[in-house]
Amino acid sequence: DIIPLMVGSAEKNIGIKKLIEQLDMLAPNPIEKGKLIACTDSNEQEELRQIQGTDPAFVQIFKIEEEAKAGELFYFKVLGSQVNSAQELINFDSHQKERLGHLYVLTGRNKNEVSTLHPGDLGATAKLKSVSIGDTLHTNKDSIKVNLFDFPNPVISQAVKPTSEKDREKLGEGL
């Protein structure tokens, strides 16, 4: 096997552009890689499915975070074809329609708004109604649920839930 080796300095910005160009050339995108995911269809049949760019749009929610002014922020991974802001998807479990509002790509604590996310991208959106961790949102063209990965058992489990909007803001500032 041949393993490429690159030398550079992130602090002095030496060789970084070349590194990014090489990664772009050598590393496959999710469609080319052909990643297999475990899915369950509407008939409760499990199957392994390969991600393709021609698949209908579907995403899996993997984290929900409370944000001070925006309310809940839902983190997801795009698994089917691209998703767009203002796109309507259906929750596999509750069969409720969910409208994706603004789409964000997060870099640290910064939210950068984008109009489109592609397969393999991680994104976030706010103001979804009936969504929980592990839910799959899809177009009605293809009704599948991505099987949830196994979470480790928690050592300590506690939750704080505000009773009013005023309490929510105070709690958001405190956390």
Residue 143 predicted with pLDDT over 70: no
* Cβ atoms 19, 6 nearer than 8 A: yes
0.75 surpassed by pTM:
no
Rounded Cα–Cα distance for residues 146 and 39 (Å): 4
- Would you state the structure tokens that stand for residue 137, as one six-digit string? 């949102």
Q: Cα separation of 135 and 63, whole Å? A: 10
In this predicted model, what pLDDT tens digit does every residue of 79-90 receive, in sequence order? Answer: 877 899 989 998
pLDDT the model gives residue 142: 62
| Secondary structure (H, E, C), 112-137 | EEECEECCCCEEEEECCCCCCCCCEE
In 3-state terms, what secondary structure has residue 16? helix
Q: What is the pLDDT of residues 146-173, one digit of tens each?
A: 776 666 788 888 888 888 888 888 877 7
Coil, strand or helix at 25:
helix
Kindly report, residue by residue over 12-55, the tens digit of the pLDDT: 889 988 988 888 777 766 556 656 566 666 677 777 766 666 67
pLDDT, position 168: 82
Buried b (16+ CB within 10 A) or exposed e, 30-65: bbeeeeebebbeeeeeeeebebeeebebbbbbbebe
pLDDT (0 to 100) of residue 135: 87
In angstroms, the CA 159 to CA 57 distance is 33
3-state helix, strand, coil in the chain (%, to 5): 15, 35, 50
- Strand pairing partners for 49? 37
Task: State the pLDDT at residue 171.
Answer: 79
- Say what percent of the chain tops pLDDT 70: 79
